[in-house]
């Protein structure tokens, strides 16, 4: 039996990286998808790769309330309902200490990573109340453990964790579950860009393998499988959970960090 048969998933940032891996897994599990991206090029790429499944693409910026509202309405016009909102869109730059972060960089990080969740909830909660659906937020391990030279980013992911728990309490009376997935390092275009911002980019790959207790940095499909569980009925009694899919990175992070003697982030 397909885990997401007859389900409609509204997925932000679903055309590359973890989001695209989620789109593939959700489609294989039987879901209809409404995928939101602000990048026309990545939308074209995703269209060519997702094949013949039921997929609607919307060009929209999650940091813009009106565009999110229009995207929700378009999804409802096409599919008639929304069962899952997966807030995956996010940015990580800049890789800087707080005092080196510009006001524009700070505001952009919060606009995408935090306000994006606010806007999808603001405009999509009524649809979820009707469907008895659920919300999944893509967080990060660093929202729990912190991260050097990435203060603004970790602040947004800490906010995602707190939002997830508060939203879970607020929407439980409606039967709406709210959870988050918290990866550590994952090989994506975003991570490759991150690696180039580090003090020693050539050592980044070795570092990313070593921080995970399981000994390697995974591809996005590892995270997508965990996301599928959280949005499916298999997790029907799970809410307010920040699920680490981290290969045990948090268990040896401080020890490994001191051995590296470099300044890196997850």
Q: Active-site positions?
A: 153
d(CA 139, CA 59): 23
* 189-to-85, 221, 234, 250 alpha-carbon distances in Å: 23, 14, 30, 23
Instruction: Burial-class residue 129 by CB neighbours within 10 Å (0-12, 13-18, 19+).
Output: middle
Instruction: Burial-class residue 264 by CB neighbours within 10 Å (0-12, 13-18, 19+).
Output: buried
Strand ranges, E, within 28-99: 32-37, 55-59, 84-87
d(CA 191, CA 184): 11
Q: Count CA atoms within 13 Å of residue 161 on its CB side.
A: 18
Q: Count CA atoms within 13 Å of residue 18 on its CB side.
A: 29
């Amino acid at each position: 039996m397909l885990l997401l048969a007859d389900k409609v998933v509204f997925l932000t940032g679903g055309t590359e990286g973890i989001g695209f891996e989620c789109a593939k897994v959700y489609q294989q599990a039987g879901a209809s998808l409404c995928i939101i991206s602000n990048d026309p090029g990545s939308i074209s790429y995703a269209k060519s790769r997702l094949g013949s499944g039921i997929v609607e693409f919307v060009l929209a910026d999650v940091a813009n309330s009106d565009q999110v509202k229009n995207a929700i309405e378009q999804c409802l016009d096409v599919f008639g309902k929304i069962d899952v909102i997966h807030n995956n869109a996010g940015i990580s730059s800049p890789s800087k200490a707080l005092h080196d972060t510009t006001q524009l960089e700070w505001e952009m990080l919060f606009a995408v990573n935090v306000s994006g969740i606010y806007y999808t909830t603001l405009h999509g909660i009524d649809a979820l109340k009707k469907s008895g659906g659920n919300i999944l937020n893509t967080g990060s391990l660093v929202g729990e453990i912190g991260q050097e030279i990435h203060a603004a980013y970790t602040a947004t992911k800490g906010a995602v964790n707190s939002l997830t728990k508060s939203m879970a309490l607020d929407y439980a009376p409606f039967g709406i579950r709210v959870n988050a997935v918290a990866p550590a390092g994952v090989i994506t275009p975003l991570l490759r860009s991150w690696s180039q911002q580090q003090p020693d980019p050539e050592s980044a790959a070795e570092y990313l393998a070593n921080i995970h207790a399981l000994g390697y940095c995974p591809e996005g499909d590892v995270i997508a499988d965990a996301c599928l569980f959280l949005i499916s009925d298999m997790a029907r009694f799970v809410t307010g959970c920040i699920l680490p899919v981290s290969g045990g990175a948090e268990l040896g992070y401080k020890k490994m960090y001191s051995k590296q003697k470099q300044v890196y982030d997850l």
